Structure 1
Amino acid sequence: CGTTPTPPRTTSTSRSVPSRTNLWDDANAAQNNVHVTRPSHDAWGIKKIALIFCDDFLRDVYEMPWYHSKSSSAMREAVEPILEALGNVPRERIVRLILASLPPGITIPVHHDTGEWVRHTHRVHVPVIVTDPSRVLFRCGPREDSMMRVECNPGHVFELNNQGKHAVSNCSDEHRVHLILDYVDESFPSPRRVKLERGERLLQTRRSIDRARDEGSRPCPSYLILGAQKAGTTSLYEYLTQHPLVVRAKRRETHNLDWRWDSTLKTSRQRRDHCLKFFHASELRPHPSCLTGESTPSYLLDSRRVIPRLKEAYPHPVQFIVMMRDPVRRAHSHYAMVTSLDGNPEQTKTRGTEWLNRTFEEVVYDDLSNMKRDGLIPYWDEETRTVDAEEFDAFAGSKEEDDAWDRYLSRRVPLRTGSHCPVTRGMYELQLRPWLKSFPRERFLLLRMEDMKTNGGVQRTADRAFRHLGLPPYEVRDDSAKNSRDYESMGDDVRDALRRFYEPHNRRLARMAADVFGANGEEGRG
């Protein structure tokens, strides 16, 4: 019994049921209870009778028919004396309850349990059938080199920390049966309890469980990071997709609503199917606990094109996240990115070549001149590079401004190049306005890149985003900044001119955040 045998194949659940009294039989469980997959244990040939089971994040606890059904009460009656003997474990705090049968000659190698549920539960073992306890070697400890043996005499109840190392070998000639129980403390929020029906089918991934009847209940995609460019959108996307329930799109920036929109397609169904090709939509359909989304930071600015296409392609409630950054620093970072010669051929192509032989000052003042010509910033004096405060207040929010904004977008926002609108992309309130007119405010989350740079800021920002998307908490493992670069400092004159220009726009943004999202600028859901 010193070696680990090759894991046997698991029993198929599609065959006919030879016996309704053999509760260990997978086919019987699939028809008369609910079949649950435990991949490693199934591979080792460990049989199970599942009575209560939970998903990885303790959102749902599933009570099986053999536990809750009055017509199949024998198993509950059989385990009830054991639960009564434990005394201090309320039934509503039990999140997993399984009888596990370890075949003779089988070793479960040294391992530790993973998953968010493990951190919040107590693991209790109750040996039920152990013919010869001396031939069952159960060991556990904080480290492999410090594991100690636990006696497995029938009726000996013990709790172990399954985040630590543990292993078991059944060196006897008979199956060893334990009742394995996991429960949460009273301080833990009560998960939703679901009574499954006889013969129901569960669809499981490594970290999720869904009922087959819920297939297709989550449309795709669930979220879009709209922008702004060079405001931490890549970092946020990478943090979000570390969550086990968030699946990456086939490409982070799909651009399927602007650059890659296929105008040759004739019907909405065809255009919708085209957009879904950028996601793992068919694979996600059976697993509504999981979600996906993308990050195309050009969407925020290009609302004139994107919003009607989005409504057609994604008629379901998509959640939106908008990243913002000090607009002066954002503009300079934008210029440094598109003029950089680093990167692969696709990256350098999409950056464009329009700014390669131009200074930062030149592209900034060109954009301001374009806005001036289009009637978007009548309050800006190009000679003194100052804002007329009274004219700004009179023009802000007017129909004339809306018309000028539409005119600017139609003239100055090309496709397939990032070398445009360095100043306009930092006018966040103006960019947000058409989005907030088109979609309920509860769908929006506004975040600042600077907040991610504070101590613990990445996790706090990710927590807000997880809440906005209806996801359970998760600790971000890799909190390093993504897609960042070093670049030369900007000149004092252009920096000061941009600060004067943005100052009233930043005040507008603060008022919008307070008026639309509350006193602290927080989104409705987060």
Structure 2
Amino acid sequence: MATPAELIQKQHEEALSLLSIDSSKYCPCAERLNHGELPLTTKRSPTANQPSWSSRVRIDVTPLQEIVREGYNVNYHSNEKTSSSNTNLWHPVTAAQHNVSVCRPSHDQWGIGKIVLIFCDDFLQQCYHFPYWQMRADIRAAVQPILDVLGIQVSQCVRLLLASLPPQTTIPLHQDSGEWVHQTHRVHVPILVPSPEDILFRSGPDDATLQRIDCHEGHVFEINNAQRHAVTNGSSEHYRVHLILDYMDQPFRLPPVVLTPGEVLYQTRRSLNRVCDQGSRPTPSFMILGAQKAGTTSLYQYLTQHDLVIPAKRRETHCLDWRWDEKLKTVEQQREWCQKFYHTEELYKHAACLTGDSTPSYLLDSRRVIPRIQAIFNWPLRFFVMVREPVARAESHYAMVTSPVGTEAQLKTRGVEWRNKSFWQVVQEDLQQMHDCGLLPHWNVEEGIFDANVWKEFSGSAAEDQAWSLYLERHVLLNTGSYGLLARGLYELQLRSWLKTFRAGQFLVLVLERDLADTESIHRTMQRAWAHLGIPGITSLDDTSAQNTREYKSFVEEENEEKKEEGGESSLGGTRMAKKEYLQRFFQPYNERLEQLMEQHGWGSHNWSYEL
């Protein structure tokens, strides 16, 4: 989160007071102590007795000074035009022609000049070598003594740049974040500092224990940049140039990407995006298909905490079902309509980022949605499917749809069809609809009796597929959520249509009770989810709370109790069977089929066990 301008100004004024020898708050430089290389473990698990910085050595930086001195003390961000030359490496025009322009929003806002030599994205997916580094032997020779005293190779360097801090400028207190921070050492080397006494560079575990670091030219020091640090250039006329270096303990795992002079890079949301890659990732990249009330909202919230995953303009787009515009006749028009629900124009520029939505009605409504995906999103999308023990899912679905609490739009979307019906009435309606479509030859609706022999012949047959298609055609409605109470829990049947159309590798099936049960399982699951999207994982989530939950009594148990008060257990036809057991018996064979499917594709076990 960006530091407010008024807070930056306050910190700047405080820093100027600390720089003033005449001030009672004057802050002298701390003693130079060489603690050697700071272990990376201190970034992940800091303790109070660990140093926050280490004075590594002092070296002669004259050769580098001679290369970068020209033009370092000029404000190129003002409206005044400045002439460029091939020897002025700071000039934006020269950099754009002979190096690669890098747009770094926060640094550019502060007016910081830069000469970028090596750079990586925040997730250490790629390391880029810039033309100045590749083509300028004099620059490499001038930097080599710094690498030598640190005892490292170029292959370990993932960021190497020179930064020119304007006069009377403060970079506020902050700590660096991102996956790269805990895997790299941060080294600073003052290169051009005409008045070191005007530089307040501080680092420490917290704001109360900051130490001022000596910024005389050639002082090679390492800081723990996962801790608090800030810098102020209190000079009224001179810029300050530091070489900033980030290196890993081991060589970077991939060969560097060598950039071409004149390229442009954008740094945003912890990603680096080459202009030449614009439009290479189509929108959207993924969809959470369902099932409704099985944790889809939570999964989406966890996914979009990743800096590379951009939320859609609305989580449930419904652009492929009830928001589909039948008046649009061409594929291009239909695609353009659906892409309006995402930040498509912005994402076009940033190929490292991706987006998707969570519309949990899609899983059941395969008859409409699949051909529309094939037509307008004809690239290898990634799909997520959340499943939940189907009796609990049905109760949660009924509770949501019949709840009087919600916005006008929410109440309208839920529909009114179930408002004056009991849970069990809705169950019986859905069973009758499935029966009438020929989907339940194995199940005696009145008696709750399962015929294993009929099931053996019917399960997976063409007759079952035809009956399922008829059910979808007749009973999967638009503009209401009041349908499919039990059908939405027939997960294998729903997945069957999708797996016939798309590769199994495009799907990740997750189980609410197993995969989003607690913080530990959520973190473990999200690593799988991000890998499914082809992006690096992150080590922590800001919020692992369950989303879109509500308190409600078990309708099955409540209605059973009402029947008991009337004289015994609930009667279903000629039998006496608890309603929960009735539903568990109904779902049991479907759950077994789902279990086999999940094991077949490496999605694990759902672990739903019924004591029948």
Q: TM-score range by the shorter chain?
A: over 0.9
Match of 2:121 in 1: 55
Match of 2:424 in 1: 361
1-side partners of 2:500 and 2:423: how far apart? 33
What is the 5 A alignment of 1:297-376?
297-376=360-439
Larger Rg: 2
Q: Is the 8 A contact 2:75 2:166 kept in 1?
A: no
Match of 1:81 in 2: 145
Alignment partner of 2:448 out of 379, 385, 393: 385
Give the aligned residue type for 2:418: W
Q: Offset at 1:145? A: 1.1
Match of 1:481 in 2: 546
SS in 2 for 1:59: coil
Match of 1:468 in 2: 532
2:119 maps to 1:42: no
2-side partners of 1:14 and 1:392: how far apart? 82
Change (3 A) 1:291 1:132: same
Q: Structure 1 runs of 4+ off > 4 angstroms?
A: 1-5, 12-17, 518-521
Match of 1:395 in 2: 458
2:468 maps to 1:405: yes
Per-residue displacement from partner, 1:457-512 (whole Å, max 9, x unpaired)?
A: 22222221111011211222111111100111123522111100111111100111
Q: Offset at 1:206? A: 3.6
SS in 1 for 2:164: strand
2:218 maps to 1:141: no
Match of 2:64 in 1: none
Change (3 A) 1:10 1:429: farther
Match of 1:263 in 2: 326
Per-residue displacement from partner, 1:165-195 (whole Å, max 9, x unpaired)?
A: 2222334554332211001222x87256211
2-side partners of 1:123 and 1:272: how far apart? 46
2-side partners of 1:106 and 1:369: how far apart? 73
Match of 2:69 in 1: none
Change (3 A) 1:262 1:106: closer
Q: Offset at 1:150? A: 1.4
Change (3 A) 1:14 1:458: farther
SS in 1 for 2:173: strand
Match of 1:524 in 2: none
Alignment partner of 2:249 out of 179, 182, 185: 185
Per-residue displacement from partner, 1:24-53 (whole Å, max 9, x unpaired)?
A: 112211111012233333333332211011
2-side partners of 1:108 and 1:383: how far apart? 73
Q: Is the 8 A contact 2:199 2:234 kept in 1?
A: yes
Q: Is the 8 A contact 1:441 1:517 kept in 2?
A: no
Of residues 53-62 and 225-234 in structure 1, the stretch that sits farther from structure 2 once superposed is 53-62
2-side partners of 1:15 and 1:191: how far apart? 41
2-side partners of 1:231 and 1:27: how far apart? 54
Alignment partner of 1:498 out of 583, 596, 602: 583
Change (3 A) 1:194 1:243: same
Q: Is the 8 A contact 1:445 1:468 kept in 2?
A: yes
Q: Is the 8 A contact 1:4 1:106 kept in 2?
A: no
2-side partners of 1:306 and 1:254: how far apart? 12
May I ask how many residue pairs the two structures share in their alignment?
515
Per-residue displacement from partner, 1:392-440 (whole Å, max 9, x unpaired)?
A: 1211100100111111111111111111110111000000001000001
RMSD (Å) for aligned C-alpha atoms:
2.2
Match of 1:243 in 2: 306
1-side partners of 2:200 and 2:336: how far apart? 56
Give the aligned residue type for 1:441: A
Match of 2:510 in 1: 447
Q: Is the 8 A contact 2:271 2:353 kept in 1?
A: yes
TM-score (norm 2): 0.80
Q: Offset at 1:119? A: 2.5
SS in 1 for 2:542: coil
Q: Is the 8 A contact 1:231 1:449 kept in 2?
A: yes
Unaligned stretches of 5+ residues in structure 1: 522-526
Q: Offset at 1:454? A: 3.2
Of residues 93-102 and 340-349 in structure 1, the stretch that sits farther from structure 2 once superposed is 93-102
Q: Offset at 1:515? A: 2.1
Change (3 A) 1:289 1:455: closer
Q: Offset at 1:86? A: 1.7
Of residues 203-212 and 273-282 in structure 1, the stretch that sits farther from structure 2 once superposed is 203-212
